[in-house]
Amino acid sequence: MDKRILDIAAIAAALVAPVFFGPYGHYIMCMATIYAMVSLSLNVLVSEAGLISIGHAGFWAVGAYGSAVLVERVGVPFEVSVVAAAGLAGLVGVVVGLPALRVRGHYLAIATLGFSLVLVHVLYEWDGLTGGRQGMFVQRPSLFGWSLAEDRQAYYLCLAIFGLLVLLVRNFRRSLGGLSINALRQSELAAQCCGIDLAASRLFAFAFSAALTGASGALYGAVLGQLSTDSFTLVVSLSFLTMAVVGGMSSVWGAVLGGLFLAGAPEGLRAFEKWQMLIYGVLLIVFIRVLPKGLASLPERLAPLIGGRR
């Protein structure tokens, strides 16, 4: 099948979907889109640059609180605050990326993990800005002064922003810069001999990934309507990574499926009550074994089976 037809079908489905769901469904769809942005950002960092982060909840928090504070305290329009939040998260990403210049693998994992724990702690203690233990209320998302009071409307805004981010990532993947960062992952030595500045490239990969997650965070706070530091724990960082792997690392499809998974899995498991975490854990273990390249690789895995039946 032509891939383009599939893409168009997916876009159409995303646009029409709200008709079939109620307000709670719309909320879940917002969340799925917001998570998909994070998944996209991890695709850039892990799959393109070959770096790892167990601290993306930290960038998410920077985006969420950054946007909320700008809107609530400074009176900046929401759409501007999303861009600013992305920029702010990107800057923080540069700082967090500094260890990535010298260490990789386990070391980078602990550095990013440590960063997000410390950052969230600081936000928690900073009562005056973030409301600390009580948390803070956040205004609904708005567009050109119109408040998007219903999640159905917010969903379309999320979808539009997700579309923009996808374009950015696609441009990145097709550019010489994207090629260079990809090359750097495969051979640091050869890439540097080809004139690639390792430090600048790594920092950019971190900043770009962090900025995408920051934009997602801004939307998250606004759609949820409130923020507390409980939303940005280590478990959240880990579930981001899980979502990215479950969806599939190397395509936009993977990011979308990952977002749907993270938003949908708790809903699907809710009926199992105290068993839900156990089932979730078992599912993860089985999933990684059965479908290591993520949900996005399902068609290519199924193709031979279907072909065999004909």
Partner 1 sequence: MSPALRVRDLSVYFGGLKAVDGVGFSVEPGVVCGLIGPNGAGKTTLLNCLTRITRPTSGSIEAFGRDVLRLPIHAITRIGMMRTFQNLELFGDLTTLDNIAMGCAHRFRTGLLSELLALPSARRAREAAYGEAEAMLVELGLAEHRDRRVSDLSFGTRKNVELARALCSRPKLMLMDEPAAGLNGAESAELGRRIRRFATERGITVLLVEHDMPLVMSACDKIVVVVQGRKIAEGKPEEIRRNPEVIDAYLGEG
Partner 2 sequence: MTLLSLVVSGLALGSIYALIGVSLVIISKATDVVNFGQGEMAMFGAFLTLTLLRQTDMPLWLAVLATLPIGFLLGALVQLIVVRPIENAPALNVLISTLGLFFVFNSAAGIVWGFDPHPFPSLFELAPITVGGVAVTPASLGIIAVALSVMFALYLFFEKTRWGTAMRAASMNRTAARMMGIRVEHVAVAAWGLAGGLSVISAVLIAPLTFLDQQMMVSIILKGFAGAILGGFSSLPGSVIGCLILGVAETLFGAYVSTSMKDSFAFVLIILVLLLRPSGVFVTNRAKKV
- Residues lying near partner 2 in the complex (CB under 8 A) are found at 46, 52, 98-99, 102-103, 105-107, 109-111, 113-115, 117-118, 121-122, 125, 189, 234, 238, 241-242, 245-246, 274-278, 280-285, 288-289, 292
Pick from partner 1, partner 2, none: which does 39 bind, CB < 5 to 8 A by kind? none
269: buried, middle or exposed (CB in 10 Å: 19+, 13-18, 0-12)? Answer: middle
186 binds partner 1 (CB under 8 A): yes
CA atoms of 36 and 10, how far apart (whole Å): 14
300 binds partner 1 (CB under 8 A): no
Of 73, 121, 133, 174, which lies in the binding site for partner 1, with binding defined by CB under 8 A?
174
Instruction: Please identify, using beta-carbon distances, which residue of 138 and 169 lies nearer to partner 1.
Output: 169
Mark the segment that binds partner 1 (CB under 8 A) among 25-33, 53-61, 82-90, 186-194. 186-194
189 binds partner 1 (CB under 8 A): yes
176 binds partner 1 (CB under 8 A): yes
Pick from partner 1, partner 2, none: which does 12 bind, CB < 5 to 8 A by kind? none
228 binds partner 1 (CB under 8 A): no
- What is the CB neighbour count within 10 angstroms for residue 227? 25
What's the token pair of residue 282? 């078992």
Binding to partner 1 (CB under 8 A) within 112-171 occurs at 168, 171
What's the token pair of residue 268? 């699907």
Pick from partner 1, partner 2, none: which does 135 bind, CB < 5 to 8 A by kind? none
Instruction: Please identify, using beta-carbon distances, which residue of 102 and 170 lies nearer to partner 2.
Output: 102
CA atoms of 310 and 308, how far apart (whole Å): 6
Decide if 59 contacts 217 (C-beta within 8 A). Answer: yes
Nearest to 29 by CA among 163, 165, 155, 215: 155
102 binds partner 1 (CB under 8 A): no
Q: Which residues contact 236 (CB under 8 A, 6 or more apart)?
A: 57, 60
Q: Kindly state the smallest distance separating residue 287's Cβ from partner 2, in Å.
A: 8
Q: Helix, strand or coil for residue 253?
A: helix
91 binds partner 1 (CB under 8 A): no
Q: Which residues contact 173 (CB under 8 A, 6 or more apart)?
A: 48
Mark the segment that binds partner 1 (CB under 8 A) among 26-34, 155-163, 181-189, 283-291. 181-189
73: buried, middle or exposed (CB in 10 Å: 19+, 13-18, 0-12)? Answer: exposed
Question: How far is C-alpha 67 from the geometric centre of its chain's CA atoms?
Answer: 16
- What is the CB neighbour count within 10 angstroms for residue 286? 10
Decide if 58 contacts 214 (C-beta within 8 A). Answer: no
CA atoms of 241 and 46, how far apart (whole Å): 9
Pick from partner 1, partner 2, none: which does 281 bind, CB < 5 to 8 A by kind? partner 2
Q: Kindly state the smallest distance separating residue 303's Cβ from partner 1, in Å.
A: 20
Instruction: Please identify, using beta-carbon distances, which residue of 204 and 253 lies nearer to partner 1.
Output: 204
Q: Kindly state the smallest distance separating residue 199's Cβ from partner 1, in Å.
A: 9
CA atoms of 84 and 103, how far apart (whole Å): 29
Instruction: Please identify, using beta-carbon distances, which residue of 143 and 234 lies nearer to partner 2.
Output: 234
Sites of contact with partner 1 (CB under 8 A): 168, 171-172, 174-180, 182-183, 186-187, 189-198, 204, 208
